[in-house]
Amino acid sequence: MAKCDICGKGPMFGHNVSHSNKKTRAVWKPNIQVKKIKIGGVTKRVHICTKCLKAGKLDLLTKV
Q: Is residue 4 part of a domain?
A: no
Q: What is the 3-state secondary structure (H, E, C) of the chain?
A: CCCCCCCCCCCEEEEEECCCCCEEEEEECCCEEEEEEEECCEEEEEEEEHHHHHHCHHHHHHHC
Residue 22 placed within a domain: yes
Does residue 6 lie within any of the structural domains? no
Residue 1 banded pLDDT, cuts 50, 70, 90: low
> Could you tell me if residue 32 is inside a domain?
yes
Model pTM score: 0.78
Number of domains in the chain: 1
Flag whether 7 is in a domain. no
pLDDT digits (tens, 9 = 90+) for 9-57: 999 999 999 999 999 999 999 999 999 998 888 999 999 999 999 999 9
Quick check: is 43 in a domain?
yes
Is position 1 within any domain?
no
Spatial CB neighbours of 30, under 8 Å, sequence gap ≥ 6? 2, 3, 4, 9, 10, 11, 49, 50, 51
Q: Which domain holds residue 59?
A: 12-63
